[in-house]
Structure 1
Amino acid sequence: MDALQQSLAETLSSGSLGSSDSSGNVANYMGQMAMAMGKLGTLEGFIRQADNLRQQTLQQMHRILTTKQSARALLAIHDYFSRLRALSSLWLARPKE
């Protein structure tokens, strides 16, 4: 999500909003918004695909693994996401250059 926010900020700030022609400003702004909305649409599609894959995997888990293996897998997934959250917090708290 941070990468998306950064990408949108760059898209919106990349244009030259300082021209004296107000219709040019509006057209430029609309173009930037269209690009930003396109990026959001692409991200939404990617997230939907990832969520569908996650759901399918969890639904198929009982066919592939035993109960004990499933429990271990879920514990490993929980541990992985806990570590990922901790790493993300450290990354966000790092000193900025």
Structure 2
Amino acid sequence: EHTVIDVTFHGETATQPVISQLARTYNIDISILGAAMDTVAGRQIGRMRIELPGRYEDNVVPVGFLREQGLQVDVVEADGQFTDADDELAQLVKDGAK
């Protein structure tokens, strides 16, 4: 089993090596399923979909670590549907363009 999560980066968090810190801190293998970064109005924003080994219940602490770093973390539904983070990323792009 595995847990797929979407991580939304913006501002300073977009330049920090939080995924490698997560892997080292919790000694877990992380698969990067996709990622996109962009600069809007001088601000970096981005999105990354990663896969953690084990069920969500096994990953509560690593997910909490990411949230403590100031990242938005959304668990992807088992059917692969996107979560509310897509709406937030669209809003960040819109706000950055203003």
Q: So what's the TM-score if we normalise by structure 2?
A: 0.30
Q: So what's the TM-score if we normalise by structure 1?
A: 0.30
Higher helix share: 1
Higher strand share: 2
Larger Rg: 1
